[in-house]
Structure 1
Amino acid sequence: MSISSLLALRIGGWIAWEKLSGYRAKYISDVPQSAETMTPRWLTAVLCNGVPGAEVVSVKTTGGSDGTTARRAISLTYNAAGMAAGMPAKLFTKCTPHFRSRLQQAAITKPPCEVGFYNEIRQELVIEATDALFAAYEPRSGRTVMIFHDIAAKGVRFLDIFDYVTRDMAEQMVRTMAGYHGKMWRDPRLTNGHYPWLRSVLAYQRLLNDALPYEARSYVGMQRAHPHFPAELAARPNDVWRAHMRSVEICCDPTVPQTLIHWDVHIGNWYLTADGKMGLTDWNMNSGNWATDYSYAIVTALTPQDRAAWERDLLALYLEELKAKGVIDVPRFDDAWLAYRQQMFHALFYWTFPLGIGSLQPRMQLPEISLRNVERSGQAIVELDSMAAVGF
């Protein structure tokens, strides 16, 4: 199964209507299709509510890029009341104006999860992370909008896999993950339907498998990743896929602690503040076991040499941080080490898949970034004997 033709027709129809009708969001209940079509009237409704007399006078886009969403920096001017109130002038937006990206986002129902996180959970977490000024999703059309402070204008530097992550930076990443994992550790709201948009890692992976199709394109990605894909794994691709699915099942085993999972903690979703703090963005929320985030972050952020040298100390720090956050049933180190080894596969396939995408799917990442992530995660799977850790 893949993305349904009915969904494609519906999303395509909405995009055509938006263009033909000249649709523009006007009210706070509306969702614009792009930063370029945001109007001062709509921005006034969503940003100036509660600031008497404040209005947005003009808006212009000042740069950006396209991937799974369209990311744009925008610059606003305000009337005298808005200026006197210190309303933010430099903002950053994420929208879904393009057919292929909007269709894929709608098929895997990612936007409600990120919007839900910012609207319902973010304020509970005491961590360095992006915070949305406004977030909304329109399910019929698939339009999504999120507005943030433009933290890059405040000296924040967004990282990528070609940046060297120091020991201090890695320890800060560990503390951040323990911060949101510990806060939501065994929280019943994660599994009792309190957040209707939240799903388990296993449910999400099965959705990806059906909608994209994830498994088939990952096999293509394995071939395209040669010679970066380890020969030991390339020789048994079906077993590696089954090991991946087994690791996801282990992640969602109800007998092990479940918590809030970011799910996409590669180094490209981390940033470094002007005062040297590591922060996290692009929240693609699920529920599951802590190790799926932890393993993914460590294996993709660090060079293989640093990962091998630091991984036991970093894991010990993570467990200490959980205890400091009030977690009562902190895993024993040996159990945590096994979980760390078991959860390496998500990182591997989350970067193998983009290499294998078809012509109708949006390009999510540059190939050189995907290849570096595949190389690091594949090497870790081999060195840590992760196949054996999940029974293969």
Structure 2
Amino acid sequence: MKQNILVHRPTDLSRRWAQGIVNHYAADAKVSDISIQSVSVGTSTRLRVLVNHDAPHIVPLRWFVKTPSLAIKSRIITALPRLLHKEVHFYQSLSKASPVKLPHILAAQTRCCHGSTLVMTDLAESGFTPGQPDDALSIHQARQVIKQLARFHAHYWNNRQLLQTHRWLSGFNNRAEHYMGNLLAVPLMKQGLKLAVNLVPINLHKPALHYAANRHRITQSLATGPQTLVHHDCHPGNLFWQDEQPGFLDWQLVRMGEGIGDVAYFLATSLKPDCRRAHEAELLNLYRESLTKHGVEEIDDKNLYQRYRAHLSYAFEAMIVTLAVGGMMERSSNIELIKRTSAAVYDHDSLVALSVGS
């Protein structure tokens, strides 16, 4: 699509803007009106809009538009590493070959120093049910997600050409993200623990601060296993459902990494602690079996568990940092996910083990 569709604020959503997108699919169609149904501001600004036009059999009427965050703190955190830029590139260059269900993209554009905009069909228009960040998934739902994660990871397993073919997966964006994460790790962890009050067991505070102080070394150690393409933010709010089958949203953090990191993040955020404890071993075994089914060989059970245990630390860090920054997730959802991830790292001594390992 050659038309400039970049949006910087909600008022940029004009009839003319929508007309250009509609005409890409139906040259003679006419847009009569566009109205904003809702605006949600977090790590990005998310707008649901109704576009009235005369070709609804070709182009949907309800759209979901994603633009850089209007919240200053969230925008600072996401702008330098250009997270939305990365998501646009994912949909433009990798989504067609993806083996998992993704939303239908109508238009996407990114320009250096000018921002990024993503336009997709509203999930409800396609008959999908969007997840919420604090959803507590059933064991049946968890099994479905684990099988799809394994399928996705196996598809890109040890694909060394990805970084060469898709340079946006590495380079400046990743360096900026790692630099900012390491620079802000200690103050954000301190602030997050302070705001969390009694949500995090007191005996996790010291190892959590140690983790933050040694974040650069620890994140390097968490990237030493077999490499594949990972979502890196697989919580319930980034899922959608159709006939009990999951789809995956929000690819701003997509990167090369260890597949078990996605599994750890998903189980720590998506299951109530008692449910996770009861089914964790089964789900890890299902992940290993599913990888094998899709052609990945030589998965060692003991090593898989140890890597899972280590990667739980990132899920915990992500939720604490989200609370510290503020405005990136509904506070009630953030609080619930802190409870879940705290329980996971506590159950497995994940932070303590990382502290001992330094």
TM-score by length of 1: 0.82
Verify: 1:379 aligned to 2:343, yes or no. yes
Q: 1:198, CA displacement in angstroms?
A: 0.9
Contact 1:122 1:131 in 2 (8 A): no
Deviates more, 1:155-164 or 1:369-378: 155-164
Contact 1:202 1:249 in 2 (8 A): no
Q: 1:265 aligns with which of 234, 237, 257?
A: 234
Contact 1:115 1:135 in 2 (8 A): yes
Contact 2:133 2:238 in 1 (8 A): no
Q: Whose helix fraction is larger, Structure 1's or Structure 2's? A: 2
Verify: 1:369 aligned to 2:337, yes or no. no
Closer, same or farther in 2 for the Cα pair 1:227/1:183, shift >3 Å?
Answer: same
| Partner in structure 2 of residue 318 of structure 1 | 287
> What is the DSSP-based 3-state SS (H/G/I as helix, E as strand, rest coil) of the residue aligned with 1:61?
strand
Q: 1:187 aligns with which of 159, 180, 185?
A: 159
Alpha-carbon distance in structure 2 between the residues aligned to 1:203 and 1:215: 18
Verify: 1:390 aligned to 2:358, yes or no. no
| Partner in structure 2 of residue 134 of structure 1 | 107
> What is the DSSP-based 3-state SS (H/G/I as helix, E as strand, rest coil) of the residue aligned with 1:58?
strand
Q: 1:149, CA displacement in angstroms?
A: 0.8
Contact 2:48 2:122 in 1 (8 A): yes
For structure 1, list consecutive stretches of 5 or more residues without a partner in the other structure: 1-25
Alpha-carbon distance in structure 2 between the residues aligned to 1:102 and 1:369: 20
Alpha-carbon distance in structure 2 between the residues aligned to 1:97 and 1:168: 34
User: After the TM superposition, which residues 8-23 of structure 1 pair with which residues of structure 2 at under 5 Å, given as runs?
Assistant: none
Q: 1:118, CA displacement in angstroms?
A: 0.6
Contact 1:190 1:259 in 2 (8 A): no
Alpha-carbon distance in structure 2 between the residues aligned to 1:244 and 1:345: 10
User: After the TM superposition, which residues 125-164 of structure 1 pair with which residues of structure 2 at under 5 Å, given as runs?
Assistant: 125-141=98-114, 143-164=115-136
| Partner in structure 1 of residue 202 of structure 2 | 231
Q: 1:68 aligns with which of 43, 47, 54?
A: 43
Verify: 1:300 aligned to 2:275, yes or no. no
**Deviations along 1:148-177, whole A, 9 cap, x unmatched?**
111124443322354331111000110121
Alpha-carbon distance in structure 1 between the residues aligned to 2:78 and 2:162: 22
Alpha-carbon distance in structure 1 between the residues aligned to 2:7 and 2:271: 38
Contact 1:27 1:42 in 2 (8 A): no
Amino acid at match of 1:225: A
Closer, same or farther in 2 for the Cα pair 1:217/1:242, shift >3 Å?
Answer: closer
For structure 2, list consecutive stretches of 5 or more residues without a partner in the other structure: none
Verify: 1:220 aligned to 2:188, yes or no. no
Q: 1:43, CA displacement in angstroms?
A: 2.5
Q: 2:315 aligns with which of 343, 347, 350?
A: 347
Aligned-pair identity (%): 22
Q: 1:99, CA displacement in angstroms?
A: 6.1
Closer, same or farther in 2 for the Cα pair 1:301/1:348, shift >3 Å?
Answer: same
Amino acid at match of 1:57: S
| Partner in structure 1 of residue 299 of structure 2 | 331
Alpha-carbon distance in structure 2 between the residues aligned to 1:260 and 1:27: 29
Alpha-carbon distance in structure 1 between the residues aligned to 2:307 and 2:208: 22
Closer, same or farther in 2 for the Cα pair 1:148/1:70, shift >3 Å?
Answer: same
